[in-house]
Structure 1
Amino acid sequence: MQDVRDLARDLVSIPSHEDETAVGDRIESWLREHTDADVTRDDAPNGGNVLARKGSGESLALVGHHDVVEPDESQVADGDYEVYEEDGRLYGRGSADMKGAVAAAMVAFRDADPESLDCELVFASFVGEEIGGTGARFAIDEGFAPDYAVVGEGSTGYSGDGVTDVVVAHKGRRGSTVVATGEAAHASEVENGENAVYRACDAVDVIRDLDFPRTEVFGHAVEGSVTVTEIDGGTAWNVVPERCEVTVDERTVPGERAALDRVEEVAGVEWTVDQDLPPMQCSDEVFADVVLDVAREVQDGIPEHVVKPHATDAGWLADAGTACVIYGPSEQGEAHTADESVSLDVLDRCYRTYRRLAGSWS
């Protein structure tokens, strides 16, 4: 427990919202000092991903990321991130999302005896998760392809207070832009123009009537959504607008997308995808059940298979063929806040789960 706590405090204190090099250096040096694993650092932008491997056979990866979102000013002191403990919790930017889980995975990786492993155990901490999974995508392009992965994003508190569940699916996000073009004219002579805002409104009506994407994973319903979040058009009160843009947020589900291309049936309307973070579904129910069994052994609560609403790097890994689940200490609503924190007891629970899973999976 103390090793996880001390390492988590160390990692949380190191700034990593603009450049992840320094915290990546710390992760790499710790792994080289405390393990005999094959430790590597790739050339992913903003500091590189840190990877470590030991054992042989089918590969099981413990996966995290060490970048964070920009801290609140209250979370910075003397150039470092403020970090402290109070009431059994570790406070600081990245404590929940997700350096605490990275620390738990590192210590579990260290403590897994290579002589007793029936698999290749892999540790991976990526850069760029908060900006679209750039580190994970780089690693995958370079050949990173574990057979199985436990991603340490938050899974605590879904089925019940304080229970750390096993996420078997999560939504993705497709952000897109609908552009309506028309012809400008003086507002006193509307018949001489073509109103782009009207065309955009017709496209919004199409979006409003679309069915939300939905599916099931291991009997659990996964329902997405589609909604207009921004609209911008026109240049002056007395000019018929010639351009109008509409921003659309879609929460995607495995194997399904909303039929947003239907907006292009409206004259003068084009649709482009700006970001597409993939959803995740575990492709191996036996693996998901094994992780759940181990999770039940290390806590008093009764964890369940659950669905997570947020996109993570697990989506990129699953899309590349890795059987993924998510199991981590962060609770809903903890990440990205000015008082971000994580339970130290739950960090220890995650450490024990990761270590026990490494010894039992084959």
Structure 2
Amino acid sequence: MSERSASERSAELERLACDLVRIPTENPPGNEGAAAEFVSDWFREEGIDATLLEEPDPDRPQVGARVGENGPTVVLNGHLDVVPAGDPEAWTTDPYGGAVEDGRLYGRGSADMKTGVALAMLVARDLAPEIRSGSLSGSVVVHAAMGEETADPGTRTLLERGFDGDYGIVLEPTDFRVATSTKGLSVYRIAVEGMATHASQPDAGTNTIDEARPLLDAIDEYDADLRQREGSLCGGAFATVTEIEAGTDSNLAVIPDHAELVLDRRVLPGEDPDAVDAEVEALLDRVREEHGVETTWTRIQTYASSSIPVDHPLATSLRDGSAEAVGADGGVGEPWGIEAATDARNFVNDAEIPAVTWGPGDLDQAHTVDESIALADADVARNVLEDVVRAFIE
């Protein structure tokens, strides 16, 4: 444990998390640069080697930092990007003001996941003296990655460029539950074709909105079927239309000849994305055969699912430490999988590094108006994380 007092530790964590929240890093469009420079400068001021990596996108740098060169290595992963805040007038506080009220930090990214980034930075800094003195034989790596919110290969690139290790902890908000499994998703853009005509003569054309109706019905049936299948620690699979557009690029009096919708298919551990593609294609074939609706499709985004054994020592250690710190309520001491996709998939699937998703804060706060996190929980998480990492790099 750091020699700083509890109050000093709380104050510096609050200050660092606030500073990060106050740097807008919305994705899209993806403007992580200022935050990456902040993180890189902070590490260098603390005497820690940090690289401002301009891959995979030179306009969107990210940071990899390392303390130590030998022994077992734990990678602490966080992402710098946040989803757009939307209308600031809908927020009670400035989404990028970093306000603290009644012990909660408010702002876009407070829960998802700049407080997690701050935890990684501070734990690496606090363990650095023991690593350098040789009393800890291992190493700590920190990721401040770009592009997690849109499946960009930020974390994967950091791992490929040598910021890897033997274990990974992805510091997303899980309310102290340890996720050994993560859901994935495949996102599809589906186009429906019709024939344009004047709205005063609708029967002279084919309204693509009407053509989309049986497709929407078929997707509802597909979703119902998925919900009946066996689930996982992450819950069940779903198929949801998240966007639909038709007629927006023409005159108001024109029957639209083209519609596009976005289908979000949540993918469970063990499901093959290619097999999911085949299910979607079969669905569209059936709609064409039964209703004459012509469609084309493209998979536009993919997050792979991931899984490691629930009794992996890293998972067990974090579960035990969390349950001791906050109690076993809410499933903290039980095996669990997270419904959301996380960059744990890059560790497990791409780099073959066992990784869990864990952190303070409630996932329900992610992507919401007035997003916030209890700073007292962040303090507890810092202590748990420091103890667990120290045990794995002794």
Short-chain TM bin: 0.7 to 0.9
Which residue in 1 is equivalent to 2:283?
Answer: 263
State whether residues 206 and 262 of structure 1, in contact with CA within 8 Å, keep that contact through their aligned partners in structure 2: no
Q: Which moved more, 1:322-331 or 1:234-243?
A: 234-243
Q: 1:294 aligned to 2:325? A: no
* CA 1:3–1:15: 2 relative to 1, 3 Å: same
Which residue in 2 is equivalent to 1:25?
Answer: 37
Equivalent position amino acid for 1:288 in 2: A
Equivalent position amino acid for 2:281 in 1: D
* CA 1:297–1:116: 2 relative to 1, 3 Å: farther
State whether residues 188 and 238 of structure 1, in contact with CA within 8 Å, keep that contact through their aligned partners in structure 2: no
Deviations along 1:75-115, one digit per CA (max 9) or x if unpaired, are: 549xxx31232222222332212111111121111112212
SS in 1 for 2:108: coil
State whether residues 282 and 288 of structure 1, in contact with CA within 8 Å, keep that contact through their aligned partners in structure 2: no
**1:64: how far off?**
0.6
Which residue in 1 is equivalent to 2:50?
Answer: 39
* CA 1:326–1:245: 2 relative to 1, 3 Å: same
Equivalent of 1:109, from 101, 124, 141?
A: 124
Equivalent of 1:227, from 240, 259, 262?
A: 240
Q: Distance in 2 between matches of 1:22 and 1:239?
A: 45
Task: Write the mapping of 1:189-204 to structure 2, written as runs, cut at 5 A.
Answer: 200-204=212-216
* CA 1:296–1:38: 2 relative to 1, 3 Å: same
Q: Which has the higher helix share?
A: 2
Equivalent position amino acid for 1:6 in 2: R
Which residue in 2 is equivalent to 1:305?
Answer: 335
Q: Which has the higher strand share?
A: 1
Which residue in 1 is equivalent to 2:169?
Answer: 150
Q: Distance in 1 between matches of 2:323 and 2:158?
A: 32
TM-score by length of 1: 0.82
SS in 1 for 2:235: strand
Which residue in 1 is equivalent to 2:143?
Answer: 124
Which residue in 1 is equivalent to 2:3?
Answer: none
**1:340: how far off?**
2.3
Equivalent of 1:326, from 338, 341, 357?
A: 357
Deviations along 1:209-253, one digit per CA (max 9) or x if unpaired, are: 323176665xx3631101234444567899886544332121121
TM-score by length of 2: 0.76
State whether residues 33 and 62 of structure 2, in contact with CA within 8 Å, keep that contact through their aligned partners in structure 1: no
Q: 1:60 aligned to 2:90? A: no
Equivalent position amino acid for 1:281 in 2: S
Q: Distance in 2 between matches of 1:22 and 1:101?
A: 18
Q: Distance in 2 between matches of 1:185 and 1:32?
A: 64
Equivalent position amino acid for 1:43 in 2: E
Equivalent of 2:265, from 228, 232, 250?
A: 250
* CA 1:27–1:183: 2 relative to 1, 3 Å: closer
State whether residues 64 and 158 of structure 2, in contact with CA within 8 Å, keep that contact through their aligned partners in structure 1: no
Equivalent of 2:63, from 31, 50, 59?
A: 50
The alignment-based identity, stated in percent, is 32
Long gaps (5+) in structure 2 = 1-8
Which residue in 2 is equivalent to 1:274?
Answer: 300
Q: Distance in 2 between matches of 1:293 and 1:166?
A: 10
Q: Distance in 2 between matches of 1:330 and 1:272?
A: 35
State whether residues 141 and 163 of structure 2, in contact with CA within 8 Å, keep that contact through their aligned partners in structure 1: no
Q: Which moved more, 1:231-240 or 1:201-210?
A: 231-240
